[in-house]
Structure 1
């Protein structure tokens, strides 16, 4: 473990939220770590402690973390755990801090300057919730990153606060709630945060949606990387036994699309119905892109609108490939949860 000195004399002029630790996991984040650290430095309110677990980086991620000195003067711990997955890394980071409240984010994000202030705002109440669900918006420097993220990221208007399950890109919870839920599920490599959310809910934790606690989520740099990401997400769904009806509906829809193409000359009405169905299916992704038009130049916006169906189809096909692999893993796993 690499620990920076607790330079509290540097705190002058900085607001520190006592009792709050910010935790994150990293692995080979050299290309994004500076944006992440800059976001930490810009916070209007700082955590009392920052704990980062590195899962075995082979680039300069750890060196960059070691060299960083937060302007707030809060203590920073960098724990190196080669081979640790995201869930194990988060659990290790939480276990390493005595703080009663845990703010969780990812190194591949861009924190808005008031993120920690907003996500800890409910803690000022006499009876705060157990979990504060933050939100996330698309980010990224290249057109592909912005187009992919804008297409697949829900807008705040789509969220139903009473049922929203937070991503661990942007969430705060009490140590007690984490312990009651049994921590992040280390048997999962992806979708671990969603399974943790369900465990929190099932343990009786009270959630509150805080849409102003925003982090920027950087989309994948190209369609190939995006497909790989969604393949892993769907495989995680399969491993955890999540959303079977949603995945079955996807297979049914694409089976219909394939059949309508094969029978286009004999039953053209099937193809027309399929086109209408796909047009309805694309309304929400296109609305997401248009709602974020300010992120694009005029020419880029046209390209993003045209690219949105390709992004959606790519993601769907990747999910259809990944989900059954997760289900096979789940069926063959003798020491884990079963459906």
Structure 2
């Protein structure tokens, strides 16, 4: 019987064929440095209309390590991630974005990190700029390890562009909420919602700078950065509304957002040129997200919570092999 891989790397992509080469080349290099049989790669084509499917098939055919290309024709990053979770067999499930490049030692450092843990956990890694011409957003630059406080709202502590968790976490938390993330009604926060639900179950959330990706996000216009940050805050506000009546941590998070308003006067954020008063900007868009969620929830909320999808229930029956040895 073939041993299951220790690590499943999940990448979702949609209409980014021209940008995939850098990521895929970096995966090949990083897998070559990992022990034989330690890694499988799962590529989710999220309904691409360009030649993404052909490029993924060609790359897969030329690899000596396990690669699976799966299709999720319905647009939406959360949907694509759920499709990838269904396919993953590893004891560690890692994910990155299609505009990132893995550091050559990515898999070795990821395995070392999880080997030091004594139970299920979610760990985010370092996200460095891929191109110095891009604006300094969607990055995680801290060079020291951190552990999130269980009562804190996890937005921004780690990011979906470099995120990994034990397979047992997926079994307990379930699926990503498909109402959030790129391609959905709320264009962000599918990762934050997942983290919030996980920490609510007592699953520890950590940051470890040892496993690294370089993010080539391509945003160079101030207007693009401002629109991105507005979307992040709107998504967080929608999460507030989703969890407001279920989890007291939301009340604390709203209180901290209001308390932060004074910082616009005494300690203003100056790194975002398109935003004059950052904390007021953030709170305004969170309020808009809360209102939008409450308006849309009656029409969009299914009878059963979409975050309790088959992914989690199915994964409970699996017993992943955490071995990093040969298959």
| Cα-Cα RMSD | 3.3
Among 160, 163, 169, the alignment partner of 1:171 is: 163
CA–CA separation in structure 2 for the residues paired with 1:155 and 1:18: 29
Q: 2:27 aligns with which of 35, 40, 44?
A: 40
**1:148 corresponds to:** 136
Pair 1:232-2:231 in alignment: yes
Q: Write the mapping of 1:74-153 to structure 2, written as runs, cut at 5 A.
A: 74-125=65-116, 127-140=118-131, 143=133, 145=134, 147-149=135-137, 153=139
Deviation, 1:23, is 0.6
Q: Structure 2 regions of 5+ residues with no counterpart?
A: 182-187, 241-249, 306-327
Shift of 1:107: 1.0
Query: Larger RCO: Structure 1 or Structure 2 (Cα < 8 Å, ≥ 6 residues apart)?
Result: 2
Residues 48-63 of structure 1: pairs in structure 2 closer than 5 A: 48-63=39-54
8 Å CA contact retained: 2:20, 2:98: yes
Instruction: Indicate which of 17, 25, 32 corresponds to 1:30.
Output: 17
Larger radius of gyration: 1
Larger CA deviation: 187-196 vs 317-326: 317-326
Whole-Å separation in 1 of the counterparts to 2:128 and 2:45: 25
- Unaligned runs of 5+ residues in structure 1 are 1-7, 9-15, 258-273, 286-307
Q: Is the 8 A contact 1:129 1:208 kept in 2?
A: no
Secondary structure, aligned partner of 1:281: coil
After superposition, the C-alpha distances for 1:1-53 in whole angstroms (9 at most, x for unaligned) are xxxxxxx9xxxxxxx99332111211122342111112111202275321121
Q: For residues 99-152 of structure 1, what are the alpha-carbon distances to aligned partners after superposition, in whole Å with 9 as ceiling and x for unaligned?
A: 3321111112121111121112134358354333322122226x2x1x433xx7
State the TM-score, normalizing by the size of structure 2.
Answer: 0.71
Q: Distance in 2 between matches of 1:36 and 1:186?
A: 25
Residues 314, 34 of structure 1: alpha-carbon distance in 2 compared, 3 angstrom cutoff: farther
* Secondary structure in 1 matching 2:6: strand
Q: Tell me: CA distance 1:126–1:153, structure 2 relative to 1, closer, same or farther (3 Å).
A: closer
Counterpart in the other structure of 1:301: none
- 1:134 touches 1:170 (CA, 8 Å); kept in 2? yes
| Corresponding pairs, count | 271
Normalized per residue, which structure has more helix?
1
Query: Residue 68 of structure 1 aligns to a residue in which SS?
Result: helix
Q: Does 1:210 align with 2:208?
A: yes
* Residue number in structure 1 paired with 2:290: 327
Report SS of the residue matched to 2:147: coil
CA distance, structure 2, for counterparts of residue 314 and residue 56 of structure 1: 39
SS at the partner of 2:273?
helix
**Alpha carbons of structure 1 residues 64 and 148: separation in structure 2 relative to 1, 3 Å:** same
Task: Describe the shift of the 1:114–1:72 C-alpha distance in structure 2 as closer, same or farther (beyond 3 A).
Answer: farther
Give the conservation status (yes or no) of the 8 Å contact 1:118–1:210: no
